[in-house]
Amino acid sequence: MNTIFRRVILALTAAQGLFVGIWAEFFPRSFYDSFPGFGLHWVSMMGDWDEHLVSDVGSFYLGLTAITIIAIFARAAGPARLAGVGWTVFGVLHFIYHATHMMGSTFDRIGNLTSLGIAALLGIVLLMPPRTPASRKEQHA
């Protein structure tokens, strides 16, 4: 069963995917210059401008987000768990890359690793098996 909790996690994951995906896909130069916003510049500090790479990032995020949105409306937990696989693999590898290639101020580093850690954690939570009615009864016994 796809629980309300799982749907909330899917919605949070989809929201961050839409935020990054739409910005990178449709406004790549702005994404490169200004991501994540708030006066920070996490992408431009990593190297030269590459429109193709930034657009690919947007496409990737939007693809994972599409799967996630479908999973929100599924009655079973399977589609949510599959979305979790995608977000977890991407999120953990993305986190590892940035953890081993730290740049910017201490604030940038903490913000980057915190946001990437939360994104990876959301994917990991989606991997968890659904609670069955029997497992709920056992916890209350």
In a domain, 137, yes or no: no
Q: How many domains does the chain have?
A: 1
Question: How many other CB atoms sit within 10 Å of the CB of residue 6?
Answer: 23
Quick one: pLDDT at residue 138?
Answer: 47
**Position 138 in a domain:** no
140 occurs within a structural domain: no
Give domain status of residue 105, yes or no: yes
User: Of residues 88 and 137, which shows the higher confidence score?
Assistant: 88
pLDDT of residue 47: 86
Domain residues for 76?
4-131
Dihedral (CA of 119, 89, 1, 132) sign: negative
pLDDT digits (tens, 9 = 90+) for 6-48: 999 999 999 999 999 999 999 999 999 999 998 888 999 888 9
Asked if the structure places residue 62 within a domain, the reply is yes
52 within some domain = yes
